[in-house]
Amino acid sequence: DTDRDEVISLLLSEAKEIFRVVSIVGVGGVGKTTLARLVYNDEALERNFRFKYWISLGNGLRFNVERIGEAICSKKFPSLGDLMDGVRRELLRKRFLVVLDNLCIEEMDLWFMLKNSFNVGSPGSTVLITTRSVEVADSLGSMPLYYLQPLHDADCLDMLWKVALLRREEKEEKQNIELLQISKILVAHCGGLPLAVKVLGALLPYNEEMGDWLSAATLASLELQKYSYTSNILPVLRLSYDLLPSNLKQCFAYCSIFPREYWISKEKLLQLWKSEGFLQTSGSFFEDIAEDCFMKLLQRLFFEDFVRDESGNMFCRMHDVVYDFVLTVSLATCSVVGPEIVAKELHHCSLVFESEPSTQLRYLCNKEDLQTLLFISSKFDSIPDTIFSRLSHLHVLDFSQSGISELPCYNLEELPKTVPQLTSPVNLCVSSCCSLTYLPSGIEKLRLLEKLPTFVLGKQSDSAKLNELSELDLKERLEIKNLENVNKEAEAQGAELFKKVSIHSLELSWGHSGVMSAQMSAKILEYLYPPLNLRDFCLKGYKGSRFPSWMNWGLRNLSSISLIRCSCQTLPPLGQLPSLKFLYLKGMSEVQLIGLEFYGDGGFPCLEQLEIYDMPNLEEWMSIEGSSGPLSLEVFPCLDKLVVKGCHRLTVLPVIPNLRSLALCDSNEMLLHSVAHLPPLSSLVVEKFKLKFLTSYFKNFSIEKLTFYDCDNLDHLFENNQAPSSLKHLSILYCDRLMSLSLDLRSLTSLQRFDVMECEQLRDISGLVSLGSLEELSIVSCPMLQSLPSGIRYLTNLQRLVIKGCPTSQGRLEKKNGWDWPEIAHIPYLEIEHKELVLEDK
């Protein structure tokens, strides 16, 4: 805390310069980045620096001005001059804080160019750097420098015991002389470096008996005495590495193939380990073993800084000091290849260049024993065919971060015909290559191939045929595209998809090019029946007039099915699939009636979500309840969510006994009236309807969440202002005709959250003052709204207010001085025009 407070004091001290440089200097592993993070996230800085940017650079890298510019401007630039101009425009008259973490500068001319771009902000703007080098800090003109000192021994002891999860009562027994002695010996090896203490603590057993803990600690102390490093951190890392089993040593050393500061995909890393044969296992156990290996390296603190992307995929990277260490244990077999000479012993490498690396690439293409080649540079826009013909022992070839627009990529139109000459690849991913027209013939020769997410059929005579799939033991997911290019029924029959029991997700699609008769399409699809254990199935662009027979009996384990742009007039009896939870229907333009056959003999016993899109000719959806005949069946017992969009002739929904969430979009307005016979809904979305208001019978519904979206004619919300009193969350978006909410809101006594966005004519929201239960309010892009209503100060439950793109936010809500500030001063969290305000006394 003392270090954090002192650095913050430096950043907030009065400065005459428009911007200044403050440096945190210390040895590797002392905690410079951790300290900078604590400073960066401090609330006091939040209030003083509206614009903050964090850029990790990586010790040992060239001064990466491109990375700095892209982080500040959130875009790439074609030239250095454009980048400097972009930075100037972004920072003009702003008080900013830029953190350059782990800085190492060789090209001072680039720094001075960047410095000129920084010199346009508001006074007090600051660049905070962390670096190991006093010389680097001095060369930047840093005033002042903050030297981060190693931890005191007492702090190291506390950290060691905390990381090792020593039992509390044992830590508190200070009279335990043996514990204190061995712990002091251990931390003495760490030199006060937090990273060393954490790595060492992670080696010791968790919550074991005191005797076991002391034995392990004593052994660690004795082992550390064997190492003769000048650094305090390297002996600890070496000990942690030496105690790993041999396969984990391989897995860790292999990570030197990634560049410094590189965000490593956990999923990709585990797949690479498997491709290289580091984990000797097969079948379903691999995922568990690979996960266990990854977690053991994580527990040793060889990885850090975990993040997830929007899809939930996990990424991590190595601490800079750990990366220095992994380079010492990988020797010359794994390496990042730059402009330097390539080592003869190299077996696994990644290519990282600032310009086209023609010399190194030609050399690599002659290394027949090369097993891994990763392209990590946007400078690559082509690949030599010799990669495939000469490097026949490659296990891994990855273009996913190259200027070839990735492989997978959008621009790729064809693969080299020498791809089948590879003998060892396990993964060929072309799933995002939208321009890819075919795969080359001979794909069946890739006998070790386990992942081929997309199989593209072509018209060319040298393109792969569908029956080549029979020779491949593929796993997980498979999409077969352009089935209109199949010439013979025998090709489909020879694919033997039903034998691929490791495929869990299958997509079969016909494209728009080529002509195939409905009869031929039906025969092709009949032969492509999938394995019985399939979980996800998608059929797209099917030209046949009837669905295949296996859809009646062969998909009993399916949990998800999508039918898109199929030409059939009737739907298959999907209701008899006992495991189906998600059903997606789109573009089934020939379907006029969803009849009783749709329910089969099961009535969708497990279906939870049903979405129907763009079925313009659908006129009737029959309900079993009330139908004539002997059929007696409980239908949709678990269906919780229904979406209907683009069904202009459908007027009535069937009985769905337990429906809770309904979204109706761009369809016949009569559907809204049919909602009356549905069970009480908790959520309703009304999108692209021409209604002027919601009819009064909704007042008796127990709706908790209601959304109006893009309803052009909506001029008020509820008929006779009779709203459902149960409503807790109301959203109104893109309703251009709505002018006033003075009366509609008064009966919403339970409303807790209210969102209004892009309502161009909205002028009056005075009804807000009646919302005594309101906790969150968001008003975005309502240009006619001039002010907030008087009385918001009495909404004592309001915890969060967001206002953006509204005239009312311009000056009237300025903190302490704005005309309307007293109305909102009590709200704990405020975001006004992208500026967060957190009350000091909250």
In the predicted model, what is the mean pLDDT of residues 170-178? 55
Helix (H) or strand (E) run with residue 139 in it:
helix 134-139
In the predicted model, what is the mean pLDDT of residues 321-339? 74
Q: Which residue has the tokens 């998800």?
A: 560
> What token pair was written down for 34?
């951790």
Q: What is the dihedral of CA 168, 171, 176, 179, to 10 degrees?
A: 120
3-state secondary structure of 145: strand
User: Is 64 in the same domain as 170?
Assistant: no
Helices (H), 417-502: 489-495
Tell me how many degrees the CA angle 90-92-96 measures, rounded to the nearest 5: 80
Last residue in a domain, options 201, 230, 259: 230
Assess if residue 701 is contained within a domain.
no
User: Is 16 in the same domain as 37?
Assistant: yes
pLDDT of residue 840 exceeding 50: no
Lowest mean pLDDT among 217-231, 301-315, 577-591, 607-621: 217-231
Top mean-pLDDT range of 194-208, 323-337, 424-438, 720-734: 720-734
Task: Give the pLDDT band of residue 642 (cuts 50, 70, 90).
Answer: very high
> What token pair was written down for 650?
């459908």
User: Is 326 in the same domain as 226?
Assistant: no
pLDDT of residue 198: 86
User: Is 752 in the same domain as 769?
Assistant: yes
> What token pair was written down for 323?
């990366």
pLDDT of residue 210: 54
Report strand pairing: 705-709 vs 683-687: parallel
The CA distance from 116 to 128, in Å, is 16
User: Is 8 in the same domain as 92?
Assistant: yes
Instruction: Assess contact for 783 and 805: CB atoms under 8 A.
Output: yes
pLDDT of residue 371 exceeding 80: no
Assess if residue 792 is contained within a domain.
yes
Mean pLDDT, the chain, rounded, equals 79
The CA distance from 660 to 304, in Å, is 42
pLDDT of residue 331: 61
Angle of helix 194-203 relative to helix 233-242, nearest 10 degrees?
Answer: 20
pLDDT of residue 576 exceeding 70: yes
Assess if residue 493 is contained within a domain.
yes
pLDDT of residue 421 exceeding 50: no
The length of the chain in residues reads: 842
Q: For the segment 236-276, what is each residue's pLDDT rounded down to a tens digit?
A: 888 888 888 888 998 998 888 888 888 888 888 887 887 77
User: Is 136 in the same domain as 19?
Assistant: yes
Task: Give the pLDDT band of residue 338 (cuts 50, 70, 90).
Answer: low
Top mean-pLDDT range of 64-68, 363-367, 732-736: 732-736
pLDDT of residue 608: 95
Task: Give the pLDDT band of residue 167 (cuts 50, 70, 90).
Answer: very low
Q: For the segment 678-730, what is each residue's pLDDT rounded down to a tens digit?
A: 888 889 999 999 888 887 666 656 789 999 999 988 888 887 777 788 889 99
Higher pLDDT: 420 or 319? It is 319
In the predicted model, what is the mean pLDDT of residues 25-53? 85
Structural domain total, the chain: 5
**What percent of the chain stands above pLDDT 90?**
19
User: Is 541 in the same domain as 466?
Assistant: yes
> What token pair was written down for 754?
């209210």
The CA distance from 186 to 825, in Å, is 53
Task: Give the pLDDT band of residue 808 (cuts 50, 70, 90).
Answer: low
pLDDT of residue 354: 52
Assess if residue 102 is contained within a domain.
yes
Distances (CA, A) of 798 to 753, 769, 795, 836: 9, 11, 6, 16
Task: Give the pLDDT band of residue 361 (cuts 50, 70, 90).
Answer: low
The CA distance from 321 to 106, in Å, is 20
Number of helical (H) and strand (E) elements in the chain, helices listed first: 24, 31
Lowest mean pLDDT among 36-40, 101-105, 144-148: 101-105
**What percent of the chain stands above pLDDT 70?**
76
Task: Give the pLDDT band of residue 665 (cuts 50, 70, 90).
Answer: very high
Task: Give the pLDDT band of residue 782 (cuts 50, 70, 90).
Answer: confident
Lowest mean pLDDT among 73-87, 607-621, 765-779: 73-87
Task: Give the pLDDT band of residue 756 (cuts 50, 70, 90).
Answer: very high
User: Is 101 in the same domain as 168?
Assistant: no
Assess if residue 836 is contained within a domain.
yes
pLDDT of residue 359: 61
**What's the predicted TM-score (pTM) here?**
0.60
- Burial tier of 761 (Cβ tally within 10 Å: 0-12, 13-18, 19+): middle
pLDDT of residue 74: 82
User: Is 7 in the same domain as 73?
Assistant: yes
Assess if residue 463 is contained within a domain.
yes
Q: Quote the DSSP letter at residue 216.
A: H
Assess if residue 478 is contained within a domain.
yes
In the predicted model, what is the mean pLDDT of residues 132-141? 82
Assess if residue 610 is contained within a domain.
no
Helix (H) or strand (E) run with residue 315 in it:
strand 314-317
Containing structural domain, residue 347: 246-377
User: Is 126 in the same domain as 8?
Assistant: yes
pLDDT of residue 171: 47
Q: For the segment 446-476, what is each residue's pLDDT rounded down to a tens digit?
A: 655 666 677 778 887 777 788 888 877 777 8
By C-alpha distance, which of 334, 359, 367 is closest to 349? 334
Q: For the segment 194-233, what is each residue's pLDDT rounded down to a tens digit?
A: 888 888 888 776 544 555 666 777 777 777 776 665 566 7
Residue 786: what residue type? Q
Higher pLDDT: 121 or 276? It is 121
Last residue in a domain, options 121, 147, 173: 147
pLDDT of residue 174: 46
In the predicted model, what is the mean pLDDT of residues 14-18? 74
The CA distance from 709 to 755, in Å, is 11
User: Is 209 in the same domain as 279?
Assistant: no
Task: Give the pLDDT band of residue 408 (cuts 50, 70, 90).
Answer: very low
pLDDT of residue 835: 52
Instruction: Assess contact for 631 and 596: CB atoms under 8 A.
Output: yes
By C-alpha distance, which of 735, 725, 726, 784 is closest to 755? 735
The backbone torsions φ and ψ at residue 207, rounded to the nearest 5 degrees and listed phi first, read: 55, 35
Last residue in a domain, options 533, 568, 603: 568
pLDDT of residue 205: 63
pLDDT of residue 700: 57
Lowest mean pLDDT among 173-182, 238-247, 575-584, 638-647: 173-182
Q: Cα 566 to chain center, whole Å? A: 32
Higher pLDDT: 547 or 475? It is 547
User: Is 7 in the same domain as 141?
Assistant: yes
Q: For the segment 481-508, what is each residue's pLDDT rounded down to a tens digit?
A: 889 988 889 999 988 889 888 888 899 9
